[in-house]
Amino acid sequence: MRASKKPKVDLDLSDSSDSEDEGNSLIGDKNSQTMVVQLQSMAAATEDEKKPETNLPQIDVPLNATPLQLERLVNQLLSNDEKIPYAFYVRDPNKKQVEIVGSLKETIENNSLGTETVLEIKFQPLSLFRVHPVTRCTDSLPGHTDSLLHVSFSPDGERLASGGGDTTVRFWNVSTRTPRHVCRGHKNHVLCTAWSPDGKRFASGDKNGKLILWDPNTGDAIGRPFNGHKQWITSLTWEPHHRNAACERLLSGSKDKTARIWNVRTGRSIMTLTGHGDSVESVRWGGEGCIYTASRDKTIMVWVERTGDDGNPSRSHPFKLARTLKGHAHRVNFVALSTDYLCRTGAFDHTGSLVKANGLEIEKQLQRDVNAGKAAALKRYNEAKKNFGTSVPFERLVSCSDDFTLFLWHPTDDKKPVQRMLGHQQPVTHLSFSPDGRYLASASFDKKVKIWCGRTGNFMATLTGHVGHVYQVCWAPDSRLLASASKDSTLKVWEVRNPKKPRTTLSGHYDEIYALDWSPNGALIASGGKDRILKIWTS
């Protein structure tokens, strides 16, 4: 690559008060090849979208410039009194928007961009809410007598639940780090759990096919166990709050090749979804109303709501099969939606408070008016959808498999995959979209985590450092940090825009880590695994 002839502007972008590791060097590196870039704001274009509000001077920057350095550059050129975080994008030869992750040079090479002409880089301000990397274990909570398989914070972040091989579900007080309730009722391993999006109920499924609903406030079972599945319950998910005010419909997947929709108020199965030829491994209930079931039979089924002749939803058979997604050559292990985080947290923002909707001030505690919670959740969902834009569907699905691949789908529009994502060398076992939908992380038995563009499925970065299988990944609520849990008994925290090495490595577990979750306010990580200890980590 040749160095450009544009006069280079040397800007001191170091910040002694900032500890961003490799991002502190000067962007005016005299020993680096450079190119001319045109920085443009994509935050507020005019109505004809041809004249950006902010059009900074063309400037010579090193090819090894990172997003953190570009961020300092923009803040300095705009004379911002307070540092504003930005994301940076270029367009690939197909005119698709590609985010700069790693370095400018890597983005140019990965997307076959030239360095002979002025490169247009668009920048967009990000949320000022920022999560600080966790660095230490503050609490080790004993109690479980077998491996922890699941840990999860409640939607408001005030409670924590865990479940595993000892057949119990346990609720913990997040503030005091003490046990609240030990729930007994299962007779075999608790394989999957899920909070209702309003935080009033907690569901758990076991290896015997039994599903139990719990009251997190008392620790008591709500009604009798739900019976219907004949084998293991493998996955649980609730209908999103913005689609169901009472949060009374729950979806379960099972090794018996079926998925079931339950009315948790009556304890009855509303409908059994059949058609898969092998175990249903993962289920999702999307923000747009569709249900997704993924199976060992290599397929994913998309179910849509069925309406009667009067135009109202059918009560006896509320869903019908819309399409079957095919492409994987081996079992589908997991599916994730770009709307997962919004659907999980419902009406709660990152502070644990419910948002205002329709002029109503909604408090955190249980509400008599269930419609108020639904209105708040709908407002939050629609605002996120509006802010995301319309270049690709807001709700996207990604699947992973033992065939080492991932597929990105627009499942409500087409049965053909948008992107086949290659690179892992062993089975891919877990996936997670970042809360803002911009990124996708995948975990694999090849000991690596990979970051992909959440819009296009394009590869962005490989995170290396684990020396054992990576079982699970989890995003911070600000979408800037990612945590991974491994067979090597460590957690690693990664910064997406500086992915060459872990931001922190968290040691303390004595054996494999199977489960982790990041609290909705970003302050805590909970983890558990084979050593039977629930650990709480903080910054």
Q: What is the domain-level CATH number for residue 25?
A: 3.10.20.90
Look up the CATH number of the domain holding residue 362: 2.130.10.10
Sheet strands side by side (includes 190-195): 190-195, 202-206, 211-214
Do 115 and 193 sit in the same domain of this protein?
Answer: no
Give 307-332 pLDDT, tens digit per residue: 776 667 777 789 999 999 999 999 99
Which of 14-18, 90-94, 111-115 bottoms out in mean pLDDT, i.e. has the lowest? 14-18
Query: Looking at the structure, do residues 96 and 209 belong to the same domain, yes or no?
Result: no
Same domain, 361 and 224: yes
Check whether residue 108 and residue 197 sit in a common domain. Answer: no
Which of 125, 147, 170 terminates a domain? The answer is 125
The verdict on 199 and 79 lying in the same domain is no
Q: Are residues 370 and 260 in the same domain?
A: yes
- Residue 131 is predicted with a pLDDT of 87
CA proximity to 417, closest of 327, 489, 516, 478: 327
Interval 353-379: pLDDT, tens? 665 544 444 444 444 566 888 999 999
Q: Is residue 173 part of a domain?
A: no
Same structural domain for residues 224 and 80? Answer: no
Please give the Cα distance from 283 to 461 (Å, whole number). 27
Q: Give how many domains the chain has, as a whole number.
A: 2
Structural domain includes residue 481 = no
Residue 362 lies in a domain: yes
425 is a domain residue: no
In a domain, 121, yes or no: yes
- Beta-carbon contacts of 319 under 8 Å, excluding residues fewer than 6 positions away, are 261, 271, 273, 291, 303, 304, 305, 306
Last residue of a domain, one of 369, 394, 419: 394
Ramachandran bin of 8, using left for φ above 0, alpha for ψ from -120 to 50, beta for the remaining angles: beta
Tell me, yes or no, whether 219 and 112 share the same domain.
no
Residue 515 is given by DSSP the state E
Is the pLDDT assigned to residue 67 strictly greater than 90? no
Do 384 and 270 reside in the same domain of the chain?
A: yes
Q: What angle do CA 44, 49, 53 make, to 5 degrees?
A: 35
277 pLDDT exceeds 50? Answer: yes
Task: Pick the last residue of a domain from 379, 394, 409.
Answer: 394
Same domain, 119 and 246: no
- Is 162 inside any structural domain? no
pLDDT tens for residues 413-453? 899 999 999 999 999 999 999 999 999 999 999 999 999 99
Q: Rounded to an integer, what distance in angstroms lies between the CA atom of residue 372 and that of residue 363?
A: 10
Residue 264 falls inside a structural domain: yes
Residue 30 belongs to a domain: yes
Range of the domain at 70: 21-125
Q: Are residues 214 and 326 in the same domain?
A: yes
pTM of the model: 0.84
